[in-house]
Amino acid sequence: NWLSAIKNTCLQISEVDPSVISYQTLREPATSDKLLKFSLESVLLTPSNNLDLSCMYKSGEMQHQTRASISNNRHITCPLPEAD
């Protein structure tokens, strides 16, 4: 999966879990860790002093943004948004 370039940044990602996020997914107690996880295959970045890594969730007019963290082996985790 490729994420489109915004501000001259482009990512190729793999191993996305969960692969689909819905209101039901956010409400299920079985989704215990409430995290979106994926791996980076390649990254194209514009040099910047302020690299703010985050995940944005959009559904219609609704938009949520959560802070992302990255491990040494290029695995990204982001908290899922709260079910409003």
Q: What average pLDDT values come out for the chain (84 residues) when binned by 10 residues?
A: 56 78 70 73 62 76 84 82 72
Q: Supply the pLDDT for residue 48.
A: 58
Q: What is the model's pTM?
A: 0.57
In a domain, 16, yes or no: yes
Q: How many domains does the chain have?
A: 1
Give the C-alpha separation, 34 to 55, whole Å: 13
> Under a CB-based contact definition with an 8 Å cutoff, are residues 15 and 38 in contact?
yes
Q: Would you say how long the chain is, in residues?
A: 84
- Domain span at residue 15 reads 2-79
In a domain, 48, yes or no: yes
In a domain, 32, yes or no: yes
The residue whose two tokens read 């908290």 is 79
Q: Supply the pLDDT for residue 36.
A: 79
In a domain, 84, yes or no: no
In a domain, 27, yes or no: yes
Q: Supply the pLDDT for residue 47.
A: 59
